[in-house]
Structures are given as structure tokens and as C-alpha cells.
Amino acid sequence: MSQPSMLKAVLACRCPRCRQGEVFTHSFLNLRKFDSMYERCPVCGLYYEVEVGLFWGAMYISYGFSVGIVLAVGVLLYYLANDPPMWVYLTTVAAVIILSTTLLFRYARVLMLYFFSGIKYNPDYSKR
């Protein structure tokens, strides 16, 4: 079986060790349960919160995403909408951030798992 790439595994919110098990229990479209995570990887059994408070760090990543969205939306509106009035900037940025909240939350946590938890990919844990 081919090994899943890190990019695909991150985008699909898979376990950083086996890259197969899901991290979240429900779809990001489920507004009541989008933040619900498996405590352990359903495939390899990895305990996700390898250190207490690991996911507090995800707030900083999430903040970084938000800053990036503000800048990107600002630049796009400036050039594509010919520098509209301030209320257009504010409502567009607010709408984009609100609509992407569940994805930002999840990818902040997944990036935390992949890059700041010390967990390494190990194909021996994958199902064959």
C-alpha cells in the first residue's frame, strides 16, 4: 500500500503517527460536534493529547490563520473591489472568519499535532 503524504493526511485531519485514523469524530459541518475529537487514534491507538494542554497552542495557530484571512481579504478587496468603504472590509472579513471557524479550529489542532507535538510518522502503525 502506498504511504499517504503528509499534506493529504493533514488536509484529511488524520492521525500524525499512522496517517490513517481520523482525529475528529464528526464532520466539520456538524456545528454541534465539529470540535469533538477521538481521545485515541482509532487505527493505531495513539493518545492525541501527548502533553497536557497541547491544544492550547492551537489558539496561536488559529490566531495566525485569522490574521492571514484579514490580510488576504483586505488585499483582495482593495484590488478587486477598488478599495471599497470600510464597512465592506469589516463585514467581509467577519463573514469569512465566521464561515471558516470550524475549519480553522480543526486545522489549528491538526497542525499542532503534526508540527508541535513531537509525534513522528511511523508506517509500521498503518493498517496493511
Which residues make up the interface to Zn ion (CB under 5 A)? Answer: 15, 17-18, 21, 41, 43-44, 46
Q: What does the alpha-carbon distance between residue 6 and residue 125 come to, in Å, rounded to a whole number? A: 15
User: Minimal distance in Å, beta carbon 117 to Zn ion?
Assistant: 12
Q: What does the alpha-carbon distance between residue 68 and residue 14 come to, in Å, rounded to a whole number? A: 24
User: Minimal distance in Å, beta carbon 31 to Zn ion?
Assistant: 26
Structure-block grid coordinates of residue 82: 477598488
User: Minimal distance in Å, beta carbon 41 to Zn ion?
Assistant: 3
Choose between 4 and 57: whose C-beta lies nearer to Zn ion: 4
Choose between 43 and 93: whose C-beta lies nearer to Zn ion: 43
Choose between 4 and 66: whose C-beta lies nearer to Zn ion: 4
Choose between 41 and 110: whose C-beta lies nearer to Zn ion: 41
Q: What does the alpha-carbon distance between residue 77 and residue 50 come to, in Å, rounded to a whole number? A: 41
Q: What does the alpha-carbon distance between residue 93 and residue 78 come to, in Å, rounded to a whole number? A: 13
Radius of gyration of the chain (CA): 17
User: Minimal distance in Å, beta carbon 86 to Zn ion?
Assistant: 47
21 in Cβ contact with 122 (< 8 Å)? no
